[in-house]
Chain A
């Protein structure tokens, strides 16, 4: 494993820089978006009251001072107190993470489990009716807005067919529609990419060689094709996790699922800076961690990557 330590060090440095950039962008954008105080007080509150509350929240400090304090506190794991809930922001966000993980992982697993066989099958039966049908559905999955898909599922599968609850979190039946909605885009993307990756490998010389020397077709697919097609699939899978986190914002709002995506939206409306900052920071951390893990998996899948 020569070169693995510098590889790791470089990756960690990049991850830290990305986290710093994300935090800074969110800090700046939230401050550009407006003052939370008029939203907290009754519309007839006098100016003195507005100034008092601004001071109470530390918003009367110059921006560089606020930013400096913010960075110092983030390093210590302190994201400040939620303006809306009057609790530490981290405590608030922490309460929403399990719901998002439950939904995100279910969607992710469903999408991957369905997408890889579909893509593989489509590639094997290239240009058949099955291939066209599968890729057509994938195209819809990729292009239908999450919002539209969510409402469609609610109207058809929850209201008309009475199969699942319309919204909220509870037993497994509550999970089905939001997971399908959230996973649709990911499933479509992975299926399409799997198909093209497998097609590319199927045209390679070593596959012809394998076939020529009489290796059984199932073995050709399972060992030679899938393993070599895995790298682009794993890459897109990691990136799709980010799409899932982004999609959670809409899906959680449509299905009133109590996760961090919905919290982020609500907190932006409420100008709850600390909660937005903490949510985005943790989401970025998750995204970076997943991709970091995937980088490591590459190293295992393909030794050429870690030495270059």
Chain B
């Protein structure tokens, strides 16, 4: 690209104008429409793997959910929709029958069939394949493919959430014949899926180029190419968006939303996160083994202030351990209360003697973790809690997470992988789960029963009771359900997904044309 004298003059003029009006950028007035055919997405880190069974990191699944399809797809509305399977039905208690979409082709031209689906799901469980998603389908007993368009999955026990499992990571279907021919490494170098975009090229940490799959069963997307760039720092990511070099950015910090909205050609879009930000509690150490102390801690957090001040309103105050938008979310419960007076009384009743309570936090593992820790420490000080904030590094957090050795409280951002409490509170807080620091016999029984029941009414009742017990014992202190925000050009129409999936499909994405 050549820099002409006119460009320089324009630049100098813009610099002058920008100096006069802080935050102003020279933007053409027609930026609300575009003739672009290429969608440029910038995320905070690069892709590491294309093989969808080899990674669950959010940077990878933003890409793999577009190159590959699942049998069932969770749309931005949070509901399950047909994917490579057009219909599915529970037969008896433990057999799920799937009718597969006919006429679907892999990106290399091969025909998709039930053999691919069977092989793909079995691969996730195969120890020899060494996948990173080996825990997703452990409820599966065996899979049958009676004909090219039918798949029957038998589960070991009734599994009401099998369709939801199939819609998330681990459930992306990979091509049997191609993968067997290329091997896992070859496949990862040149992935072939059935999704709306196909792989073209990748320069690590620079750009990943994908092109539209013209024969996509869900309709060709409204772009010729989709380019993923990795821009680790938020400031250049936002600058690139404001300047128009980038069409969509992920991980827009809450305090930058106003800047993006104030710019004439860009806007912020968000989806309420499918999950919660919580202070997880080690309920084994005193005084946190006393439910009254934990109730007092919860009553001592001014969540409204946190949402308003630290998140600029980009979140809601939780009312329970089930994320809003999930199955069995109880809309009748009020937001968790802030009541310093009551908090003081419960501490007194608990016989709290000023024992130190430690909040362990990283700087940025979850957004705003350190500022929130400091705010909560101050709020707790006001009600008489001797709280201390200790900062640790990401890897120490990962290690402590594995060893279950947190001192008191720590930040966790449980994701609802299945749109259901089973995939969030039970997965993490259940016996043997990664955050198993608290046990209560009735809660455990209810959780186990709900997991293996296909009766939704029974499950609903169980989760109601579990919520009641939870709100007495607080194995987590839910703090906020934030929005996952993106910045994008106004000439785009696109709806984000609540669970880090980043789908570019005909039904949810298009460029506005003049």
Contact = CB atoms under 8 A, between A and B. Distances in A.
Interface of A: 33-35, 37-46, 49-50, 52-53, 56, 84-87, 92, 95-96, 99, 151, 154-156, 158-163, 165-169, 171, 173, 253-256, 258, 262-263, 266, 269-271
Contact of B207 (A40, A42, A162, A168): A168
Contacts of B245: 165-166, 168
A262 B19 CA distance: 32
B188 interface: yes
B41 to A, nearest CB: 13
A92 B236 contact: no
Interface residues of B, number: 58
Contacts of A99: 206
A53 B54 CA distance: 12
Contact of A256 (B14, B25, B205): B205
A243 to B, nearest CB: 21
Contact of B395 (A53, A156, A162, A271): A271
B54 A33 contact: no
B130 to A, nearest CB: 6
A86 B7 CA distance: 45
Interface centre among A92, A162, A254, A262 (most CB of B within 10 A): A162
Given A86-B185, A95-B203, A160-B25, 19 more contacts: A38-B399, A42-B56, A43-B434, A44-B427, A56-B130, A158-B243, A160-B19, A161-B18, A163-B8, A166-B239, A166-B243, A167-B231, A167-B237, A254-B235, A256-B206, A256-B233, A262-B205, A266-B205, A271-B395
B10 interface: yes
Contact of B206 (A44, A85, A168): A168
A37 B398 CA distance: 9
Interface string B117-138: 0000000000100101111000
B394 interface: yes
A258 to B, nearest CB: 4
B396 interface: yes
B401 interface: yes
B214 interface: no
B514 interface: no
Contact of B14 (A39, A56, A85, A160): A160
Contacts of A159: 25, 239, 242-243
Given A43-B401, A262-B205, A263-B205, A269 B394 contact: yes
Contacts of B242: 159
A86 B45 CA distance: 17
Contacts of A43: 401, 428, 434
Given A160-B18, A162-B11, A34 B398 contact: yes
A161 B3 CA distance: 13
Interface of B: 1, 3, 7-8, 10-12, 14-15, 18-19, 25-26, 45-46, 48-49, 54, 56, 127, 130, 132-135, 169, 185, 188, 203-207, 229-233, 235-237, 239-240, 242-243, 245, 394-396, 398-399, 401-402, 427-428, 432-434
Given A92-B204, A155-B239, A166-B239, A85 B25 contact: no
A173 B1 contact: yes
B205 A42 contact: no
Contact of A171 (B1, B185, B230): B1
A45 B401 CA distance: 11
Contacts of A254: 233, 235-236
Interface centre among A40, A171, A263 (most CB of B within 10 A): A40
Nearest to B48: A84
A154 B428 contact: no
Contacts of B8: 163
Nearest to B133: A42
B229 A168 contact: yes
B243 A256 contact: no
Contacts of B12: 161
Contacts of B7: 162-163
B415 to A, nearest CB: 9
A256 B231 contact: yes
A115 to B, nearest CB: 25
Contacts of B240: 165-167
A162 B13 CA distance: 10
Contacts of B206: 99, 168-169, 256, 258
The 6 closest A-B pairs by CB, nearest first: A34-B395, A160-B18, A258-B205, A258-B206, A38-B398, A161-B11
Nearest to A42: B56
B203 A52 contact: no
A56 B127 CA distance: 11
Contacts of B236: 151, 154, 166-167, 254-256
A151 B185 contact: no
Interface centre among B54, B233, B432, B433 (most CB of A within 10 A): B233
Nearest to B414: A43
A80 B298 CA distance: 49
A39 B427 contact: no
Contacts of A86: 49, 54, 185, 188
Contacts of A160: 14-15, 18-19, 25
Contact of A42 (B1, B14, B135, B396): B135
Given A34-B398, A160-B18, A258 B203 contact: yes
Interface centre among A38, A56, A87 (most CB of B within 10 A): A38
B422 to A, nearest CB: 12
B401 A38 contact: yes
A270 B45 CA distance: 11
Given A45-B135, A161-B12, A163-B11, A34 B399 contact: yes
B173 to A, nearest CB: 19
A156 B239 CA distance: 10
A49 B134 contact: yes
A52 B127 contact: yes
A171 B3 CA distance: 12
Contacts of A156: 15
